[in-house]
């Protein structure tokens, strides 16, 4: 860079440079205002769900006849990570997950491959199987949830209003999908008195045929005329209850109306499969999915206007409430980060003013917004939003991008003290610092390469850290070698007259004290290296030992999540009664802004890390939105106290908050995998006993353990044959009298409503043995005559992991981090693991499994990171000795990082790991500039000892100043729940690492070069 001197050109061509300076500021302002706003970056959930239903089948029949076939076909698809299957009586749900390294653009193709195989299997399923049905929208994140309630209004009428509302909502700009959730399927019920039917000599099948004959849509012919074709139409639709009641039924030689022998009424799916309530009222929920590339804040404003308009025209008694609004979280997050960002900018400018004077500080202060403006322009071109990741990355970048401006302006100040003209000083700054700054910037950027290119979910989530830092740091170099010299030439005074020398500038008392320290380190180089090595060893031991480990921190969002786990097999009505009691507790609180309950399945995915649970009548979830984070913590504490006092002995009630990062339901999970369910239970119980002994483990339990009773009728087939019945006719009649049979559909406007017939029962639960069946010849037969009724016990659920049954042992953790507790328990389980029978194993799940995937994706790219760093260092240093000195300082940041984590009791997780990796690049960047100064001094003919000492002294001010500015810029991030651990790692690492580097590098040079004592 000796021929082309951008700094001289920029300082000389003032009009051109000013034009581009103003253009950068205006363009940056426009880009900042135009950038989209979002709470979190877009993140692909590589999961789909395949479901199949087989009414009447046991879990074992489903497993053998349906699930095993489907799993085999799904395993043919490439990039498959796992299939986690949940089988319940009559239903199976297969959660299909692809590897994190699967490119997002390939997922539609892979989803299609699964769907195609499921289509192929549909024709091979046993008779009566519904599906398999494929849901590849499982990963949809709902931007907003709107609840529609109308106490006293029939649900079918509320559904019609909700559908019209959904159609209008879909027309709002930025809404990709508007889905109606929580609809309870409508039924038209025909209820018969079985005794009356027997007296009239009517059979249910004859009635069913009569109804179908009046309802089925069939072609009725057409006439070809000389003009248009004339279609013949019949009025054969039973659209209303009155029309259905009027259907004629032949009883012997006379006709009677259906309404005379049956009760015809509107009804709903019973028992319900899924219930939603808002503020204690039955509700329908509209889920809003935001279109890609939409500004979340702007969509939030449009939705707020939509809600206000709709409230004004809703029918009397109907209410529209906002349960969840992501724009609110986006606004709070962006505003808070912008405030932290402004504080960081002011802190960095203040440090510059105090350290190098107000004129030089003003130049650095101008360089910051110019750099940020150009960075915003690049972000907009790359299609980025301002979100949690990019805003945090900008604050991190803020602490680093001032380095180049400070180094350039500081070099100009020194040379002007020697008497150089301002333009000549700018030109010298280019020759002396441009190359080291560029390669130092590239080294720093290379430190974040692993997260930028990690092929994993967390890499996709946090990858913009790399791109934002790369944009900001490279732009900061351009600003430092162009706009900074231009501003320096215009604002800095001509201080020197030629009488001052460069050496005199470094003879102040502070520099003399620093010089003595550096000379001591050069003299006692081996001792300094040994002390540094011991400190590094202690830091490594501290990181392995007392520093707490975690995956991702808890979210600062105000939602309180209450999960209700009833014993497997529990009826949904029983689950609902427990949920209503919890709703009553929460509804009484003034610090709860909104409350919604989801019974029979999980809540919709309103947060990117919240996986919706699959349908289960024994499960429910409540979401209480508190006023703020403090109110959330109070609510959680109060609920936990009530639960601990035994208010809900019938259920496992878990109170939690949202977590950042990939979905993790339970932080501590072990999977016991094998073939025999009884053996699995036994091994899992042993594991649970071990977990109970750990002081930090809370409520360890088996995910499924209980067996449920079933009434099993051992049929006497010989007697059945003599009576004239078959197992099929017995099953149909029992279904008819207990739960009802679906016999067709009634067409009503845009809906088809299922028509069900069932026995009239007004006396509560049915006694199976009191039921009477009817033979083909009209005789009545008591069920007790057909066989013996026994009570047996069955599995209410079976879980499979990649086609193998497993039992998960799950627990919460108190007073520790999941990674630490998991590691301790894994060691305690060594004897149990070694004694497992062949074919059985124990896997680690939960937070550790997810963090392991994330860490592995980072570690795969570590060799590339190291290679890039070495290339940049060698291109600058052009000697193995210089490269060795630079690389040796890379791990020194660990000393300060561990010290900061321990002092402030911060956990070390994935986010902190990113900071530690980037810290190596930051320190090597400073060392690169320092070692280049040594090389320049040696090239100027200075003795080795003097070259080493003077290089450390002369580079101390910019190195310390940039370290101080960086550390203070990171301070606002320490208050953030997501970025806090990373901020502490960078603050401790930069401060301690820089101090050690200034003393360690001279000592290392002394050992390598063995300079003579002066």
Q: Per-residue pLDDT for 614 more than 50?
A: yes
Q: How confident is the model at residue 71 (pLDDT cuts 50, 70, 90)?
A: very high
For residue 760, give every residue at least 6 positions away whose Cβ sits within 8 Å of its Cβ, in sequence order, or none. Answer: 191, 192, 193, 194, 262, 263
Task: State the average pLDDT over residues 13-35.
Answer: 90
Confirm whether 128 is domain-assigned. yes
Q: What is the C-alpha separation between 58 and 87, in angstroms, rounded?
A: 9
Looking at residue 100, its pLDDT comes to 84
Q: How confident is the model at residue 91 (pLDDT cuts 50, 70, 90)?
A: very high
Into how many domains does the chain fold?
5
Looking at residue 770, its pLDDT comes to 67
Q: Three-state DSSP class for 623?
A: strand
CATH number, position 111: 3.30.70.1430
Q: Per-residue pLDDT for 846 more than 60?
A: yes
Looking at residue 767, its pLDDT comes to 66
Q: Same domain for 372 and 465?
A: yes
Of 90, 117, 139, the position where a domain reaches its end is 139
Q: Is the dihedral of CA 414, 417, 418, 420 positive or negative?
A: positive
965 Cα distance to chain centroid? 33
Q: Per-residue pLDDT for 750 more than 80?
A: no
For residue 251, give every residue at least 6 positions away whose Cβ sits within 8 Å of its Cβ, in sequence order, or none. Answer: 200, 201, 202
Q: What is the percent of the chain with per-residue pLDDT over 90, rounded to a whole number?
A: 21
Average pLDDT, the chain: 84
Confirm whether 6 is domain-assigned. yes
Looking at residue 818, its pLDDT comes to 83
Q: What is the C-alpha separation between 987 and 691, in angstroms, rounded?
A: 37
Q: Same domain for 523 and 436?
A: no
Contact 5, 13 (CB under 8 A): no
Q: Same domain for 14 and 54?
A: no
Q: Per-residue pLDDT for 93 more than 90?
A: yes
Contact 492, 360 (CB under 8 A): yes
Contact 664, 850 (CB under 8 A): yes
Confirm whether 71 is domain-assigned. yes
Looking at residue 765, its pLDDT comes to 59
Q: Same domain for 489 and 361?
A: yes
Q: How confident is the model at residue 778 (pLDDT cuts 50, 70, 90)?
A: low
Q: How confident is the model at residue 505 (pLDDT cuts 50, 70, 90)?
A: low
Looking at residue 653, its pLDDT comes to 92
Q: Per-residue pLDDT for 500 more than 50?
A: no
Q: Same domain for 135 and 229?
A: no
Confirm whether 340 is domain-assigned. no
Contact 374, 24 (CB under 8 A): yes
Contact 331, 315 (CB under 8 A): no
Q: What is the C-alpha separation between 672 and 384, in angstroms, rounded?
A: 43
Name which residue leads in pLDDT, 502 or 189.
189
Tokens of residue 764, six digits: 């509560």
Q: How confident is the model at residue 1012 (pLDDT cuts 50, 70, 90)?
A: low
On the CB side of 989, CA atoms within 13 Å amount to 31
Confirm whether 132 is domain-assigned. yes
Q: Same domain for 1001 and 904?
A: yes
Task: State the average pLDDT over residues 780-784.
Answer: 76
Tokens of residue 916, six digits: 């530690």
Contact 161, 98 (CB under 8 A): no
Q: Of 190, 482, 199, which Cα lies nearest the Cα of 363?
A: 482
Name which residue leads in pLDDT, 812 or 407.
812
Tokens of residue 673, six digits: 């995998």
Looking at residue 1011, its pLDDT comes to 60
Looking at residue 1014, its pLDDT comes to 40
Q: Same domain for 486 and 366?
A: yes
Q: Same domain for 392 and 481?
A: yes
Q: Per-residue pLDDT for 294 more than 60?
A: yes
Report pLDDT digits (tens) over 680-725: 989 999 999 999 988 889 889 998 888 888 888 888 777 777 777 8
b/e per residue 609-639 (b: at least 16 CB within 10 A): bbbbbbbbbbbbbbbbbbeeeebbebbbeeb
Q: Per-residue pLDDT for 518 more than 50?
A: yes
Helix axes 509-523, 525-544, angle to 10 degrees: 90
Tokens of residue 366, six digits: 């101008």
Q: Of 951, 874, 974, 904, which Cα lies nearest the Cα of 518?
A: 951
Of 106, 139, 172, the position where a domain reaches its end is 139
For residue 640, give every residue at least 6 positions away whose Cβ sits within 8 Å of its Cβ, in sequence order, or none. Answer: 655
Helix, strand and coil percent figures for the chain, each rounded to 5: 55, 20, 25
Q: What is the C-alpha separation between 570 and 618, in angstroms, rounded?
A: 5
CATH number, position 236: 3.30.2090.10
Q: Per-residue pLDDT for 501 more than 70?
A: no
Q: Same domain for 747 and 784?
A: yes
Strand ranges in 640-750 using DSSP code E only, listed in sequence order: 652-656, 668-673, 697-702, 708-715, 741-748
Q: What is the C-alpha separation between 801 and 108, in angstroms, rounded?
A: 24
Say how many C-beta atoms besides its own lie within 10 A of residue 231's C-beta.
10
CA angle 226, 231, 232 (to 5 degrees): 125
For residue 456, give every residue at least 6 positions away whose Cβ sits within 8 Å of its Cβ, in sequence order, or none. Answer: 100, 101, 853, 854, 856, 857, 858
CATH number, position 911: 1.20.1640.10
Q: Same domain for 100 and 227?
A: no
The domain in which residue 431 lies consists of: 1-34+357-493
Contact 410, 356 (CB under 8 A): yes
Q: How confident is the model at residue 947 (pLDDT cuts 50, 70, 90)?
A: confident
Report pLDDT digits (tens) over 580-604: 999 999 988 888 888 999 999 988 8
Q: How confident is the model at residue 1013 (pLDDT cuts 50, 70, 90)?
A: low
Confirm whether 309 is domain-assigned. no
Task: State the average pLDDT over residues 612-630.
Answer: 89
Confirm whether 425 is domain-assigned. yes
CA angle 380, 386, 388 (to 5 degrees): 145
Of 86, 117, 139, the position where a domain reaches its end is 139
Q: Same domain for 1007 and 891?
A: yes
- In terms of average pLDDT, the best of 293-297, 476-480, 514-518 is 476-480
Q: How confident is the model at residue 543 (pLDDT cuts 50, 70, 90)?
A: confident
Q: Per-residue pLDDT for 639 more than 50?
A: yes
Looking at residue 498, its pLDDT comes to 46
Q: Same domain for 899 and 1005?
A: yes
Looking at residue 63, its pLDDT comes to 92
Task: State the average pLDDT over residues 212-241.
Answer: 78
Largest CA distance in the chain: 130
C-alpha dihedral (476, 479, 480, 483), degrees to nearest 10: -160
Confirm whether 405 is domain-assigned. yes
């Amino acid at each position: 860079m000796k021929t082309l001197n951008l700094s001289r050109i920029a300082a000389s061509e003032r009009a051109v440079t000013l034009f581009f300076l103003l253009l950068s500021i205006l363009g940056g302002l426009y880009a900042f205002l135009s950038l989209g706003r979002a709470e979190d970056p877009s993140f692909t959930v590589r999961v789909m769900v395949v479901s199949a239903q087989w009414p009447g089948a046991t879990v074992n029949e489903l497993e053998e006849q349906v699930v095993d076939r489907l799993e085999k076909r799904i395993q043919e698809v490439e990039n498959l990570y796992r299939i986690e299957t949940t089988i319940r009586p009559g239903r199976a749900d297969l959660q299909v997950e692809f590897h994190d390294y699967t490119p997002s653009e390939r997922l539609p193709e892979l989803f299609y491959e699964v769907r195609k195989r499921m289509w192929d299997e549909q024709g091979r399923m046993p008779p009566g199987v519904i599906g398999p049905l494929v849901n590849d929208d499982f990963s949809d994140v709902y931007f907003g949830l709107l609840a529609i309630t109308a106490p006293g209004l029939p649900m079918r009428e509320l559904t019609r209003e909700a559908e019209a509302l959904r159609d209008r909502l879909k027309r709002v700009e930025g809404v990709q999908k508007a889905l109606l959730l929580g609809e309870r399927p409508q039924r038209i019920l025909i209820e018969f008195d079985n005794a009356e039917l027997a007296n009239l000599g009517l059979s249910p099948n004859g009635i069913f045929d009569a109804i179908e004959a009046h309802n089925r849509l069939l072609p009725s012919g057409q006439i070809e005329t000389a003009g248009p074709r004339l279609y013949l139409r019949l009025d054969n639709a039973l659209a209303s209850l009155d029309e259905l009641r009027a259907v004629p039924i032949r009883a012997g030689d006379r006709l009677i109306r259906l309404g005379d022998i049956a009760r015809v009424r509107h009804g709903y799916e019973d028992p319900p499969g899924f219930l939603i309530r808002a503020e204690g009222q039955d509700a329908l929920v509209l889920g809003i999915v935001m279109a890609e590339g939409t500004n979340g804040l702007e969509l939030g404003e449009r939705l707020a206007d939509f809600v206000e308009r709709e409230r004004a025209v809703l029918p009397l008694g109907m209410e529209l409430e906002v349960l969840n609004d992501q724009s609110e979280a986006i606004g709070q997050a962006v505003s808070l980060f912008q405030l932290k960002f402004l504080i960081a900018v002011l802190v960095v400018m203040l440090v510059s003013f105090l350290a190098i004077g107000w004129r030089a500080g003003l130049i650095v202060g101008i360089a910051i917004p110019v750099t940020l403006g150009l960075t915003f322009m690049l972000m907009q071109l790359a299609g980025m939003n301002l979100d949690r990741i990019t805003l945090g990355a900008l604050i991190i970048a803020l602490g680093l991008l001032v380095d180049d401006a400070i180094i350039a302006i500081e070099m100009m100040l020194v040379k002007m003290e020697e008497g150089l003209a301002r333009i000549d000083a700018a030109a010298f700054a280019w020759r002396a610092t441009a190359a080291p700054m560029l390669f130092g910037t590239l080294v720093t950027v290379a430190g974040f390469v692993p997260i930028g290119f990690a092929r994993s979910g967390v890499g996709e989530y946090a990858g913009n850290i790399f791109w934002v830092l790369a944009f900001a740091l490279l732009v900061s170099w351009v600003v430092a070698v162009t706009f900074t010299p231009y501003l320096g030439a215009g604002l800095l005074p001509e201080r020197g007259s030629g009488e001052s020398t460069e050496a005199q500038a470094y003879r102040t008392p502070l520099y003399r004290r620093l010089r003595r320290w550096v000379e001591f380190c050069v003299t006692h180089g081996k001792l300094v290296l040994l002390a540094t090595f011991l400190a590094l060893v202690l830091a490594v031991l501290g990181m392995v030992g007392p520093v707490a480990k975690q995956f991702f921190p808890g979210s600062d969002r105000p939602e309180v999540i209450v999960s209700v786990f009833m014993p497997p097999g529990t009826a949904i009505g029983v689950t609902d009664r427990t949920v209503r009691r919890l709703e009553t507790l929460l509804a009484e609180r003034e610090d709860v802004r909104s409350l919604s309950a989801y019974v029979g399945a999980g809540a919709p995915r309103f947060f990117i890390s919240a996986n919706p649970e699959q349908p289960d009548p024994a499960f429910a979830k409540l979401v209480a939105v508190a006023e703020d984070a403090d109110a959330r913590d109070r609510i959680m504490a109060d609920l936990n106290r009530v639960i601990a006092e035994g208010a809900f002995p019938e259920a496992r009630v878990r109170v939690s908050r949202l977590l950042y990062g990939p979905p993790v339901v339970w932080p501590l999970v072990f999977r016991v995998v094998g073939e025999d369910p009884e053996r699995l239970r036994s091994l899992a119980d042993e594991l649970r006993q071990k977990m109970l002994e750990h002081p930090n483990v809370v409520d360890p339990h088996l995910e499924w353990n209980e067996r449920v009773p079933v009434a099993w009728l051992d049929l006497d087939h010989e007697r059945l044959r003599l009576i004239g019945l078959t197992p099929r006719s017995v099953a149909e009649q029992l279904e008819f009298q207990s739960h009802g049979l679906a016999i067709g559909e009634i067409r009503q406007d845009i809906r088809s409503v299922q028509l069900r017939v069932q026995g009239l029962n007004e006396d509560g639960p049915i006694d199976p043995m009191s039921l009477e069946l009817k033979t083909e010849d009209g005789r009545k037969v008591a069920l007790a005559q057909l066989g013996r009724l026994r009570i047996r016990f069955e599995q209410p659920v079976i879980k499979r992991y990649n086609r193998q049954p497993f039992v998960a042992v799950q627990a919460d953790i108190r007073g520790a981090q999941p990674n630490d507790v998991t590691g301790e328990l894994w060691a305690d389980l060594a004897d149990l693991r070694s004694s497992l029978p062949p074919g059985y194993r124990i896997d680690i799940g939960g937070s550790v499994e997810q963090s392991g995937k994330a860490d592995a994706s980072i570690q795969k790219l570590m060799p590339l990171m190291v290679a890039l760093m070495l290339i940049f260092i060698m291109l600058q240093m052009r000697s193995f000795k210089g490269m060795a000195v630079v690389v040796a300082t890379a791990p020194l940041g660990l000393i300060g990082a561990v010290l900061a984590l321990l002092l402030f009791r911060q956990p070390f997780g994935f986010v902190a790991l990113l900071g530690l990796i980037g810290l190596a690049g930051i320190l090597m960047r400073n060392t690169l500039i320092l070692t280049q100064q040594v090389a320049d001094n040696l090239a100027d003919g200075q003795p080795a000892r003097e070259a080493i000492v003077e290089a450390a002294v002369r580079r101390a001010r910019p190195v310390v100043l940039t370290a101080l500015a960086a550390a203070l810029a990171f301070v606002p991030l320490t208050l953030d729940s997501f970025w806090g651990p990373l901020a502490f790692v960078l603050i401790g690492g930069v401060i301690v690492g820089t101090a050690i580097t200034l003393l360690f590098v001279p000592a290392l040079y002394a050992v390598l070069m063995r300079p003579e004592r002066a």
